[in-house]
Structure 1
Amino acid sequence: MKFGRARAALTLAATLLLSLIFVSAFGQPSSGGQVALSGQFTSVVVCTFGQGASEEIADYLMAESGKRYRIHLPPGMQKPTTGDEVRVSGRVQGNDLYVRTLTNMGNDGPGNPSTGEQRWIVLLCNFQDNTTENVSVSQVYSTFFDPNDSSDVWWRQASFNKMWITGEVHGWYTLPVNVGCDPWTWHDLAIQAADPDVDFSQFDRLYILVPDGGGCGWGGLGTLGKFTTNTDDGPFYHSSSWGRSEYYNSLTLAIQLTTHEGGHNHGLLHAHSVAFPGEPIGPFNTNGAGASVTEYGDAFSSMGAWNWGSYSPPQKIALNWFNTNNVKTVTTSGVYVVDGYLTNSFVPKVLKVFRGHAASTNQDEWLYFHQRLPQGYDANLNYYGGYNFGAALCHYEWRQNNITGSNLVDFTYADGDVRNGALRPGEVWTDPYTELSIKPLYTIGDDLYILVSFGPLVSVTADPTVVTGGTRIQGTVQLNRPAGKDGELVSVSSSDPSSASVPATVLVPEGEMSAPFWIYTANVVNVTEVTITVELDSIEDSVEITIIPLAVTGVTVDPGTVTGGRTATGRVTLNGPAAFGGSSVSLSSQKPWRAQVPPSVTVNEGETSATFTITTTPTQATESVKIFATFNGVLKFATLYVATPVVEGIKLNPSKVQGGSPSTAIVILSGPAPAGGTVVTMSSSNTSVASVPMSVTVQPGDQQIVVPITTYTVTATRLVSIRASRFITRSAPLTVTP
């Protein structure tokens, strides 16, 4: 500080001099002129708390001539950083410069460090038509630098002692202008007014306080970084903020406003909140399409509107304030722990969770989770009785180039109040677009344990998914990570236990990722859909199974035609494996006196068919008989033909005789003779050598008959065919010798 503090009111000569400078620097040029200019680029954030839904950033060029222009860059042009030397060409209209080309020459300044000592000079200024002095120098000094409760203490806490402020407060200075919203004029005149008292080379942050905002409607302004202003002490490389002096009668407002505008000076944008229609986070890979952004919506960061909160995780990362290991990048499933946000330690305080790579924008999307505790100035964030303390707050970033801004997520979006928007222990959020799920589990001391799952934490499959009732299906529980110590107990449920029953739980053994279980289905009358659901740590997955009524699909008989009195084999076939304990199929015969079947046949468990015996009785004429099988109300039948006996064979004994000696023929039927007997026609191919009766009758129940053969004397050996006929003719050769 210089010796000999100058009077706050300027002398008339100084006033005239400054007025000439003002006219020279800010006089209106001719409109519409094309210019090529060089100078220093500066961006200023306008803070009108609680108003608007977009961030107002005004860009300026301090030309080498001393004139300052409000510049407008064309869409897509890369914006320089505050303090960069640039060359531009474009069109001037009043104090506005519409840029056509821009060349960035870089910045030779010492940079804009966000750590270490920050040296502040605070100037209290009023106007020649409003000389109000509504706060004292000592009061303002206390709000900035008091060792117990001030902006300095706030920044030390928030930065883990990586940044602190020192400085001086001077004023009041009456600027030689009337009230009117012209912050850059105030900036230049305030420096000139204070130059006799202040060695500006000893400072790198400037804060100008004026009563009632000097006629402006904002709460404060802040440059995004540092720039150079020439002073009597040489170049003054600094950031600049403007604020309302009346706010500094309140320590609360003073700290909140100072840390807000000071955040802009370090390059931070506003802390927003974000909302999507009907969900906390919108579709993936759309660059935030559909998002409704509230400009000052983050109620947990002083870069939002009027609150005590420490800067959000993305902004602290940008400021390089975190200690080693304070930010944990999460790309794999697991349980992670975060410490208190203001606890000065070397354990994670932020989980930077990968949502995915958005192919359409070629950008990564991230979610930042942390917890607030009633620590330091964060203790004032006790909304709803501390609802958010010990819970997971989330910030969503979908633009890689917007890290200096941040977007608070509201998980209780339905009530429109972000102040209760954290995920509390036991609650779970699952991203419907990426299957990422987040579940705060519990707290131990200051540590919050959070389960992060990429893809479903637990899933379930069934094989097959379409079955006949009464069968069992193998289900499988699948985890997306190995089960922990003592295994993972997964809950299982059925939407219709009477149709498909499951165990209440399935244990996935320690170190394993899956475990099987049985789903037992019951016989159903109609096609039935059942949902099998598994749940672990409030994460659910389900599989649909379809149960088809078990039914008989067909009956067959083998052979299809059988001689009465003989047996046939029937077979019933089901549309699926038989149920546990087997499935009993009812049987019946259209003509049980002709073809008899058992009352039922059992298809063994797991089999799809079973056989049964059909017993027939002899008949004089072939008859058709339907064999019926019934199961679960479904009836099927097959037709069996029961035939009358036919001659199946004939044997001669002996088959060679001397003429005049007898022989016999044994006639064999295909089945027992029916009631009344069966008449068989007999014949000989040469009755002069061997003769038989014209017919014989096989007695009921018998299947053969012995027929006498009479032979006659021959002079030479003769061969005779003995024939027996009933629908079918069979023959046997008889040799007659001399």
Structure 2
Amino acid sequence: MICFNRRSFITLFIIVVVSFSLYFFVTFFSKNAEKSKAETNTNTQSSIESTTFTIHKDNFEGKKSEESYIEIKPAKSLSVGSKKSAIILINFLDKQLDKNMEKKYVDDEFNKIASNYFSENSFDKLTITAKVFGPYNSTINSICDPDTISDLAVKAADKDINYNDYDFIQIILPNLKCDDFGGITTYIKIKTNDGEIGKPVIIIFDQDYVSSKKYLLTDTLHEIGHVLGLGHANGWNCDSRSIDYYNKCRNVEYSDYYSIMGGTGEIAQLSAYSKNLLGWIPDSNVKTVNQSGDYTISPSELKTSGIQLLRIPIPDSDGFYYVENREKIGTDQFLSTDVTKGAPIYIIRSNNHGTKIIDTKPKTKGVDYYSEFYDAVLSEGLVFEDKISGISIRHLKNENGNLTVKILFLPLSATPTPKRFSNLKAYLYEQSSHFYFDYTYGIFGQRFIIDMSVDKDFKKDTELNFNFGNLDYLSPIIYNYPTLWEQYKCGKILYWRVRTDDDKVISEVNKAVVDCTNYKDSREKD
């Protein structure tokens, strides 16, 4: 039996306290020394673990694309000032980074070229620098789930990075085939050694893209555009016409080849619209055109006090035409003479973070919808005319880098009337179904999608009728509610919902009962 007197107990207590204190300080300084060492040693590698994951499969019409998992609105807090990015390199068991993707290479590419790109586009209002960490060796095979990848990479580099020092994170992976995604922009909230962080995260998936400097940069710059809040630079295709009613046209993803937010493959500058949205081109350089006349536009690549963007309101709508001027300046040196001597025209609705370029030469067909926009700009002497809205844009000349256009507001032959939908019919072939209709007013409109679900007593091929009243062309989502005109002839409606194509629900009913007692399908034989 061991006994302790009071003095022995005090002595033991002091020994325990001193031991614990020594352990704390050794651990603390060891970690910081490790972090410092890792930052100076370009060959530092670590092992990382991962948990279970779910693969997300999203794509745009079979085209190579990236998916934004959250809506990021243009944030001037990110688009102005000095910003920092942490770049994390990751290896998997079955896939490793190309030998050329060394720390120094990535560091040079970003800090010497990508950083200059944003300084140039923003007229030095935004500077972005980056620090590269890794590569880190994962203990699992390659995966595509962005949430798992983000968690895995952030934890791997946690001992080397204080995430509070950085505005956003970039993760570069080996050559993966992830549903043809080149990159993804997402947002994470995760606990780290420096506390819980919430940061935008860019993931570059496919090394086929980064086999040359140009493709590494275009992918990265495109995704940083999403971090800043920009949408895609798309095309607006109306088949044989430059512009037509909404339901006769289609959005063609990435078809603006004069912007890094499109499918250029070049280090193209952003459009003047995007630069204004981010606060780089001031509002004083944007001219709202309300009367006919000749207007001169300065290049969007130059810092100037002149007009760099024309904004033409489209009558009875929330949309505008925008006209800009592009020249062979800075990273826009690749632009062809057709572009620098032409007038790019965009159609954009209010508060839209993406752009849609108009194909002013719709009869010069490409091999597909995408290639039709190679010659989209309005050439000198030609006229773009929207007879529906009464707007005409003529390219007059391009001299000494300045573009001059003539804007005319034409009289309309008749005032359009908001469309009324009556007795819309749809057949439900299963216990749940989705169908849609397009509401059109002028050159704009809205697609409504109707989701239905019924119980097991539902009779297949039952006809359903809807009645929609006069829709307000400005705010059909807010002010107009569809009503069920004729319910099911038999069965129980578990729910029905009407939503827009961007998933804004405008009407929803969770249950409705229809008498089935005397129901008999007219196609059934006695």
User: 1:143 and 1:208, CA in 2 relative to 1: closer, same or farther beyond 3 A?
Assistant: same
User: 1:47 and 1:208, CA in 2 relative to 1: closer, same or farther beyond 3 A?
Assistant: farther
Cα distance in structure 1, aligned partners of 2:84 and 2:312: 36
Residue correspondence of structure 1 range 583-594 to structure 2 within 5 A: none
Cα distance in structure 1, aligned partners of 2:320 and 2:355: 11
Aligned to 2:306, what secondary structure does the other structure show? coil
Which of 233, 239, 262 does residue 304 from structure 1 map onto?
A: 262
- Displacement, 1:249? 4.7
Cα distance in structure 2, aligned partners of 1:354 and 1:54: 31
Q: Report the counterpart of residue 217 of structure 1 in structure 2.
A: 180
Q: Report the counterpart of residue 189 of structure 2 in structure 1.
A: 228
Aligned to 2:339, what secondary structure does the other structure show? coil
Residue correspondence of structure 1 range 143-222 to structure 2 within 5 A: 143-146=109-112, 150-213=113-176, 217-222=180-185
Residue correspondence of structure 1 range 463-482 to structure 2 within 5 A: none
Which of 346, 362, 368 does residue 413 from structure 1 map onto?
A: 362
Residue correspondence of structure 1 range 242-391 to structure 2 within 5 A: 242-244=203-205, 246=207, 247-283=209-245, 288-305=246-263, 306-358=265-317, 364-382=318-336, 386-391=337-342
Cα distance in structure 2, aligned partners of 1:378 and 1:250: 19
Q: Report the counterpart of residue 479 of structure 2 in structure 1.
A: none
Which letter maps to 1:231?
T
- Displacement, 1:45? 12
1:326, 1:347 within 8 Å by CA — same for their partners in 2? yes
User: 1:209 and 1:27, CA in 2 relative to 1: closer, same or farther beyond 3 A?
Assistant: closer
Report the structure, 1 or 2, having the larger helix content: 2
User: 1:166 and 1:58, CA in 2 relative to 1: closer, same or farther beyond 3 A?
Assistant: closer
Q: Report the counterpart of residue 570 of structure 1 in structure 2.
A: none
Residues 613-636 of structure 1: per-residue CA shift (max 9 Å, x gap): xxxxxxxxxxxxxxxxxxxxxxxx
Q: Report the counterpart of residue 350 of structure 2 in structure 1.
A: 400
Cα distance in structure 2, aligned partners of 1:334 and 1:418: 28
Which of 85, 90, 104 does residue 125 from structure 1 map onto?
A: 90
Aligned to 1:421, what secondary structure does the other structure show? coil
Cα distance in structure 2, aligned partners of 1:426 and 1:81: 40
1:209, 1:244 within 8 Å by CA — same for their partners in 2? yes
User: 1:307 and 1:290, CA in 2 relative to 1: closer, same or farther beyond 3 A?
Assistant: farther
Answer yes or no: is 1:429 the counterpart of 2:392: no
- Displacement, 1:181? 1.5
Q: Report the counterpart of residue 583 of structure 1 in structure 2.
A: none
- Displacement, 1:374? 0.7
Which structure has the larger Rg over C-alpha atoms? Answer: 1
Residues 697-725 of structure 1: per-residue CA shift (max 9 Å, x gap): xxxxxxxxxxxxxxxxxxxxxxxxxxxxx
Unmatched segments (≥5 aa) in structure 2: 1-31, 366-371, 413-526
Residues 63-110 of structure 1: per-residue CA shift (max 9 Å, x gap): xxxxxxxxxxxxxxxxx769xxxxxxxxxxxxxxxxxxxxxxxxxxx9
Which letter maps to 2:36?
F
User: 1:365 and 1:45, CA in 2 relative to 1: closer, same or farther beyond 3 A?
Assistant: farther
User: 1:131 and 1:447, CA in 2 relative to 1: closer, same or farther beyond 3 A?
Assistant: closer
Cα distance in structure 2, aligned partners of 1:227 and 1:275: 36
Which letter maps to 1:323?
P
User: 1:431 and 1:188, CA in 2 relative to 1: closer, same or farther beyond 3 A?
Assistant: same
Aligned to 1:230, what secondary structure does the other structure show? strand
- Displacement, 1:454? 1.1
- Displacement, 1:9? 4.4
User: 1:251 and 1:57, CA in 2 relative to 1: closer, same or farther beyond 3 A?
Assistant: closer
Cα distance in structure 1, aligned partners of 2:410 and 2:54: 63
Residues 192-232 of structure 1: per-residue CA shift (max 9 Å, x gap): 11122222111011110011136553111112xx5533221
Residues 501-558 of structure 1: per-residue CA shift (max 9 Å, x gap): xxxxxxxxxxxxxxxxxxxxxxxxxxxxxxxxxxxxxxxxxxxxxxxxxxxxxxxxxx
Cα distance in structure 2, aligned partners of 1:190 and 1:309: 30
Aligned to 1:196, what secondary structure does the other structure show? coil
1:313, 1:368 within 8 Å by CA — same for their partners in 2? no
Q: Report the counterpart of residue 199 of structure 2 in structure 1.
A: 238
Cα distance in structure 2, aligned partners of 1:433 and 1:270: 26
Cα distance in structure 1, aligned partners of 2:266 and 2:57: 18
Cα distance in structure 2, aligned partners of 1:235 and 1:211: 28
2:182, 2:206 within 8 Å by CA — same for their partners in 1? no
Cα distance in structure 1, aligned partners of 2:54 and 2:108: 39
> How many pairs were matched up?
366
Which of 428, 436, 447 does residue 402 from structure 2 map onto?
A: 447
Aligned to 1:442, what secondary structure does the other structure show? strand
Which of 93, 105, 110 does residue 139 from structure 1 map onto?
A: 105
Q: Report the counterpart of residue 477 of structure 2 in structure 1.
A: none
Cα distance in structure 1, aligned partners of 2:315 and 2:174: 49
Cα distance in structure 2, aligned partners of 1:46 and 1:119: 30
- Displacement, 1:132? 3.9
2:276, 2:283 within 8 Å by CA — same for their partners in 1? no
Aligned to 2:202, what secondary structure does the other structure show? strand
Which letter maps to 1:395?
Y
User: 1:201 and 1:352, CA in 2 relative to 1: closer, same or farther beyond 3 A?
Assistant: same
1:123, 1:209 within 8 Å by CA — same for their partners in 2? yes
Cα distance in structure 2, aligned partners of 1:268 and 1:47: 19
- Displacement, 1:27? 9.3
- Displacement, 1:8? 4.8
2:238, 2:244 within 8 Å by CA — same for their partners in 1? yes
Residues 599-658 of structure 1: per-residue CA shift (max 9 Å, x gap): xxxxxxxxxxxxxxxxxxxxxxxxxxxxxxxxxxxxxxxxxxxxxxxxxxxxxxxxxxxx
Aligned to 2:175, what secondary structure does the other structure show? helix
Cα distance in structure 1, aligned partners of 2:377 and 2:170: 35
Cα distance in structure 2, aligned partners of 1:324 and 1:215: 40
User: 1:54 and 1:353, CA in 2 relative to 1: closer, same or farther beyond 3 A?
Assistant: farther
Residues 229-265 of structure 1: per-residue CA shift (max 9 Å, x gap): 3221223332111114734452211221111111111
Aligned to 2:141, what secondary structure does the other structure show? coil
1:143, 1:248 within 8 Å by CA — same for their partners in 2? no
Which letter maps to 1:156?
S
Unmatched segments (≥5 aa) in structure 1: 29-43, 60-79, 83-109, 359-363, 458-738
2:123, 2:303 within 8 Å by CA — same for their partners in 1? yes
RMSD (Å) for aligned C-alpha atoms: 2.9
Cα distance in structure 1, aligned partners of 2:178 and 2:384: 47
Cα distance in structure 2, aligned partners of 1:334 and 1:123: 53
Cα distance in structure 2, aligned partners of 1:117 and 1:438: 39
| Aligned-residue identity in percent | 26
Cα distance in structure 2, aligned partners of 1:215 and 1:421: 31
Cα distance in structure 1, aligned partners of 2:36 and 2:66: 42
Cα distance in structure 2, aligned partners of 1:222 and 1:342: 26
Cα distance in structure 1, aligned partners of 2:378 and 2:103: 44
Aligned to 1:174, what secondary structure does the other structure show? strand
Report the structure, 1 or 2, having the larger strand content: 1
